[in-house]
Structure 1
Amino acid sequence: MRNAALQSRMRERELRQRELAELVNDAISQLTGRVGEVSERVVRRWLTGQTRWPQERQRLALEAVFGCPILELGFIPRGAAVPVTPEEPVHRRAFITATATTALSAAAPALAASRVGSSDIERLETKFAALIASDHRHGGRVTIETHALALADEALTLQQLGTASQRIRCGLYACAAAFTSSAMWAAIDGRRFDTALRHFDRASSLAAMSGDPTIQFRIWSHAGTLYRHIGRPADALATNDVARNLSIGRRDPMFASLGHARHAAIHAVTGNTGATQRAFGHAQDAFDRADPHADRPLWLKAFYDQAEIDSLALSAYLSLGNYEQAEAHAHRSLAVLRPHMHRSRAITTTRLAQAQLGQGDLEPAVATAMSVPADAATRHVRVAGMLHSFTTKIHATAPHSPAAHAWDQYAHDTRRNLA
């Protein structure tokens, strides 16, 4: 008998079998510290009813993903004849993310009597750390976006149904804003721009209620990047200015540096070389003044460093058509890029190939493009899009060259091997 409840939940979240498998594996990793091994075949067995009661770690992960007890997902315990209906209360609060209305109503009695405190904030921050790590490894995936939104709803559930001090309530809003901003960034990275705009609206409202200038900075800075990517530089400059004018930028040079660096990338899109160079100069000066040991939010410490400044400069000088300068920044970025930045390394390497191709160095450009990990080259939307542009340009530049032929053959073989 098919598992109609699970199929319905997947349809609500617009999840394909592969995406659910990835999300469950991420949850297993966070819950147990071990990599999950759920495949599309396993998900298919759940949907067809061949597997009626998954392994315990898979059940816990499914509860975390969908935010409801496992019995509400249509699974049947061993020895039971029929599924338990959603009205029969089964509480597994430690792993529930409470994203559906039925899950909220089922959890309400337990939560209403509880006091929300610092330990709940710390638990959410631990999940945020795992989400950030997943983003740096995979980037842009719908599964990351979906998981982030579920965690935001978990924070808001505690806000609505628990009792807490004003400080804790502000912290819960900050957590919800942080998770929503991660969903926004995943949508930007995955080129789902309309979705990202919707997340921006919600994230900015939650951040305002939190009163936390650091998360407000992150959201408005993300918005500047979003508008830059969709070709609205005036809006990009305006929203990034909101971030740069927050008090945190005046108190901490590291935030000021990020604001200047992203402003520089926006100026480059408009073709303003002078403004781009001045902004990068301000970004570098502020970065050099910042105390590297100061207490800062995890999301900032996880990605912003000298490698990111050079990565943004690489992007900017590509936009300006200054390929030699772009290549120099690419090499500097790659030399100091931290090991966990898998997505950033793939993006920077792809841009390096574009910079080399822009200078007419066909063989080095192709060799660099071939060094991009195959998984990122085919499954990361932004990287795949840049490599498609690389293909178009090499065909326009030297369509019959050995380098172009070698690249076409490599791209064909890579797609076939990963199909």
Structure 2
Amino acid sequence: MNLQPAQPKIILPNEHGEPYSYTLSGPGDFRRPSVPISSRKVYAAAHVIPQMTADNTPGAPASLDWDATLAYRHELWSYGLGVADAMDTAQRGMGLDYAATRELIERSAAEASKVVASNSYPALTGQTVRDILACGVGTDQLDPLTVQASEIARVTDAYLEMLRLVENSGAKAILMCSRALVRAAESAEDYLNVYGTLLEAATEPVILHWLGQMFDPSLAGYWGDTDIDKATATFTHLLEKHAAKIDGVKVSLLDAEHEKYLRARLPQGVRLYTGDDFNYPELIQGDGTRHSDALLGIFAAIYPAASTALQALDAGDTQRARIILDSTRDLGLHIFSAPTFYYKTGIAFLSWLNGHQTGFQMVGGLHAGRSTLHLVRTFVLADQAGLLLNPELAAERMKQLLVMNGASAPVPTLTGVA
């Protein structure tokens, strides 16, 4: 008789703080691919892991555990996924300072070069550094509060400095939204001029990133207007004019209908990399005519399931692919729930539960961005999706967190003690 091992149990607080017994489900049937994933082009936006003994408080310089941070990228690569680095998932603009950002890009690119040269993973056979690593180009060497209206040249120069860094590293460039540009731009034309200069300077096609204000409130009014239709018109005008320099666009507005509308209007050869961490299953599957590729923060949390689903798509089994992706949707909705910019806390939390980092800390103190009950729900939803790959370790670490935060089963009150 082939008996499955009993899964661990843990006492968790429910939404009212009342204790109940929860039995873990065990890991899902996920597999690393033996050949490159081909039906979709995918990047998982990776987080960063700090030194646990560093001053990981708001405003402190970022001090990263480079071994653990790079090992996480190897984990993603081993499942056949590309890595999007130095993005908002890596706390760009939320704890990752400019010096650490530059070092992250250089180290990740050097690691990607080794992977390509050594054929380390069968799933990456024949891939280039650009195929497996894309890095964010921003303006965070500028303090946005010091940028004045009409200082377009200053913002452009900052962008160009980082564009050169990323391209020289060998990674694909992702032109990120800029808080400084929001302050400097006075019209949609200013956005077109800045991005036009960057695209003309780029030596290889880039990815454009449209990050919504739910991810960063400072980006309200990007592309020169708070009206989504007018902003989209400016964006599509840019795409049409510079299509030859654009590999794809990453749209992070959490609006599936808008993404489908934009996807249908892209110039020939320009990809739509979904950044919709709510609706990615249907957008990646597509409608039979068009589909989205992906550049997603949630994929850094669900990478075994995402890879297995993509392998099913490659095999033509769209039903199985959709079932797997749908099984992770509730987790994505929860991790990216408002305030959405704290989604990074959930990704780091799952990394800790699965043993990829020794402690649950983040640069800039962002590990405090979610409540204990929010993290408990993250734990349960990850388990139900089969994404706690070592249930015993995850249960033990969850217990430690509950005890530390005073949320474990109550200790009987002592009476008669003076």
For the pair shown, the structure with the greater C-alpha radius of gyration is 1
> Same fold per TM (> 0.5)?
no
- TM-score for the superposition, normalised by structure 2: 0.31
Superposition TM-score, scaled by structure 1 size: 0.31
Higher relative contact order (CA 8 A, sep 6+): 2
The structure richer in strand per residue is 2
